[in-house]
A and B are shown apart, each in its own frame.
Chain A
Amino acid sequence: NAGVTQTPKFRVLKTGQSMTLLCAQDMNHEYMYWYRQDPGMGLRLIHYSVGEGTTAKGEVPDGYNVSRLKKQNFLLGLESAAPSQTSVYFCASSSSVLGYTFGSGTRLTVV
């Protein structure tokens, strides 16, 4: 089925460890986004990309890096995880024709 796929779905990290979250879309969307969801704060934009090879900072970029080497993939990296990065992470992609599609989320716990 067409859509946005996030891997992994769950992960527990120790403080200081690194990891990469993968987002893949098969809709040929130009735009891709990473949001984090925390209770009482809604979703906040971490980083986004308006096309292959481009990235830009969102509202809460500190502690995260991203890359978009291929149009269909958008990677979110945590170089040194902190407990404050415990959250649910959502990837999304969009186009001017089809609008937004969200992934099912990654639940990350940093202990």
Chain B
Amino acid sequence: AQSVTQLDSQVPVFEEAPVELRCNYSSSVSVYLFWYVQYPNQGLQLLLKYLSGSTLVESINGFEAEFNKSQTSFHLRKPSVHISDTAEYFCAVSSTSYGKLTFGQGTILTVHP
């Protein structure tokens, strides 16, 4: 069985400050890891994913996440956030790149001016 724990339910931050959203997982098999973002009243959008290869993965809008196998973590970071980054972020794990996903509880990121 797999599980995902997002350590912070809410993260308030000021605009242009750095942010880290924490995600830990447990699994008895190899994992594929994902971060999804959900803007208010919208569906889920894939932000970035780790499938294999380099442990540092990046998104097109400045987010990055690092797969740390020894610490079973996949934390999401951004060096400077914008108001438009306000959303709920979900970490997810799967045993394949296309199979059923197990989600964390979500972290609401609120960026204040």
Chain A residues at the B interface, C-beta cutoff of 8 Å: 31, 33, 35, 40-45, 48, 58-59, 90, 94-96, 98-100, 102-105
Contact = CB atoms under 8 A, between A and B. Distances in A.
Contact of B106 (A42, A45, A95, A105): A42
Interface string B93-106: 00011111111111
B106 A100 contact: no
B43 interface: yes
Interface string B1-43: 0001010010000000000000000000000001000000011
Contacts of A103: 43
A104 B43 contact: yes
Contacts, number: 53
B98 A42 contact: no
Contacts of A102: 43-45
